[in-house]
Amino acid sequence: MSEKKVGKNAPKAASPAPRSKIGRKTPPTKSADGVVLLTGGNPQIAKGYGNAPVQQYIAAMPGWKSDLGKRLDRLVVKTVPGVEKAVKWNSPFYGVEKDVWFLSFHCMTKYVKVAFFRGAQFSPLPPGTSKQPDVRYLDIYETDELDEAQFMDWVKQASELPGEKM
Mean pLDDT check: name the lowest of 36-45, 99-108, 124-133.
Answer: 36-45
- 110 close to 141: Cβ distance less than 8 angstroms: yes
Buried b (16+ CB within 10 A) or exposed e, 108-119: beebbbbbbbbb
Return the domain boundaries, the chain: 28-165
pLDDT tens-digit map of 30-47: 766 678 888 888 899 999
pLDDT for 17: 47
Cα distance between residue 79 and residue 72, in whole Å: 11
pLDDT band at 91 (very low <50, low <70, confident <90, very high): very high
What is the arithmetic mean of pLDDT over 52-59?
96
Query: For residue 72, what are the contacts with CB-CB under 8 A and spacing of at least 6?
Result: 105, 112, 114, 151
Cα distance between residue 44 and residue 39, in whole Å: 10
Where do the H-state alpha helices sit in 2-85?
A: 51-60, 64-79
pLDDT for 33: 67
Residue 22 pLDDT more than 60?
no
Residue 20 pLDDT more than 50?
no
pLDDT for 70: 98
Percent of the chain past pLDDT 70, that is, above it, reads 81
Residue 166 pLDDT more than 70?
yes
Identify the CATH number of the domain defined by range 28-165: 3.90.1150.200
What is the arithmetic mean of pLDDT over 100-129?
97
Question: What 3-state DSSP class applies to 150?
Answer: helix
Specify the pTM.
Answer: 0.80
